[in-house]
Amino acid sequence: MAGSIASPLLLLLNMAGALLAPRAPQTQSLPSSADDGDEVDFCFFPFLVLYKSGRVQRFMGTDTVPASVDPATGVSSKDVSINDDAPSAGLAVRIYLPAQAKANGTAKLPLVVFYHGGGFVTESAFSPMYQRYLNALASKAGVLVVSVDYHLSPEHRLPAGYDDAWAALQWALRSARSGLAEPWLHRHADLTRLFLIGDSAGGNIAHNMAMRADREGGLPGGATIEGIALLDPYFWGKRPVPSETRDPEERRMKEQSWSFICAGKYGADDPVINPVAMAGEEWRRHLTCARVLVTVAGLDVLSARGRAYVRALRASGWAGEVELYETPGENHVYFLLKPDGEKAAMEMEAVVAFINGRRVSTASGRKFVQEK
């Protein structure tokens, strides 16, 4: 999302984006096919239009900022290209190193591998919105962050994004072991404290990477995932869960948008989009982490599915700890759009506390539930 757009407009776009539904556009709001003879094939409101020629026009999430030293936090960032070979040519990451690591050249820090949101179709690791959020997270939590710039749909339909996310995770762990590819990781990453974190679509990716780690026979160097934090995660399913919309047209449009993202490869009840449908044995066998944090926003249409994820995980007999953090009266990923607000600060503290192994105390205006 463009950093120059006013916050109220960003919020409106975000609310619409949370619906993840293609809509018939107003004639004046979209490029007309008469302008260049290129007919519209699919409108994924409010993110993009795909034309029948294959051309993609994005309306948000395309602004970038360079890596830098953040004057507010002292966090340093840099970009690294990690794979120039097919099928993931051009895969890159942005790495964040907090000031405390620079002050102590041998400091070992928790490693966070972060996956950005954007409906699998927009945003990047170089977005000003994520640059701000991850500078703050690296500083407040005292963590080394690897933010993954996975390829986007529809140019690269799922599972391309999942495969990129997996390749980047493996690269980060190998680099931390060998030091040949990236000295920051080799010098500072503590692989006994590995966390996968993502918002919206990135939360979906973080969950699926934790499941994939077991299915692929483990992580490089014997690394294990301590925790995953799914921030307003993007999950869905054919049948509504408690408190989820039952409007048939709205549900049809959500299924249609998901089919667009993955070119129909995964159905609406495939575990990659609907982990709630998994059998308990699947959770117990494959979810390779000790702790899970799920955050939801009370006004977010996706919040019901996030709560259902927590209930399903708890009911599965999975041996770890799962925590639910809810912010009433807010919309999908509000903490990115309104980062200076009190609620955003409290949610950041919840994520920091989760990484550092502390339980967040209950405060006015939020709910925090821990289950074993």
Q: How far apart are CA 5 and CA 9, in angstroms?
A: 7
Q: Is the pTM of this model over 0.75?
A: yes
Closest of 305, 307, 308 to residue 367, by C-alpha: 307
Q: Is residue 147 part of a domain?
A: yes
Q: Is residue 167 part of a domain?
A: yes
Total tally of structural domains belonging to the chain? 1
**Do 309 and 275 touch, CB atoms closer than 8 A?**
yes
Report the amino acid identity of residue 351. Answer: V
- According to the model, what pLDDT value does residue 100 have? 87
- Statement: residue 145 has pLDDT above 70: yes
- Statement: residue 18 has pLDDT above 50: no
The 3-state secondary structure of the chain, one letter per residue: CCCCCCHHHHHHHHHHHHHCCCCCCCHHHCCCHHHHCCCEEEEECCCEEEECCCCEEECCCCCCCCCCECCCCCCEEEEEEEECCCCCCCEEEEEEECHHHHHCCCCCEEEEEEECCCCCCCCCCCCHHHHHHHHHHHHHHCCEEEEEECCCCCCCCCCHHHHHHHHHHHHHHHHHHHCCCCHHHHHHEEEEEEEEEEECHHHHHHHHHHHHHHHCCCCHHHCCEEEEEEECCCCCCCCCCCCCCCCHHHHHHHHHHHHHHHCCCCCCCCCCCCHHHCCHHHHHHHCCEEEEEEEEECCCCCHHHHHHHHHHHHHCCCCCEEEEEEECCCCCCHHHHCCCCHHHHHHHHHHHHHHCCCCCCCCCCCEEEEEC
Q: Is residue 11 part of a domain?
A: no
| Residue span of the structural domain in which 223 resides | 76-356
- According to the model, what pLDDT value does residue 106 have? 80
The per-residue pLDDT for range 150-162, each reduced to its tens digit, is 999 999 999 999 9
Q: Is residue 1 part of a domain?
A: no
Q: How far apart are CA 131 and CA 229, in angstroms?
A: 18
The per-residue pLDDT for range 75-125, each reduced to its tens digit, is 999 999 997 554 557 899 999 999 988 777 788 999 999 999 999 999 999
Active site residues: 200, 300, 332
Q: Is residue 317 part of a domain?
A: yes
Residue 201 maps to which CATH number?
3.40.50.1820
Q: Is residue 252 part of a domain?
A: yes
- Statement: residue 9 has pLDDT above 70: no
Q: How far apart are CA 246 and CA 86, in angstroms?
A: 42
Q: Exposed/middle/buried for 29, CB within 10 Å: 0-12, 13-18, 19+?
A: exposed
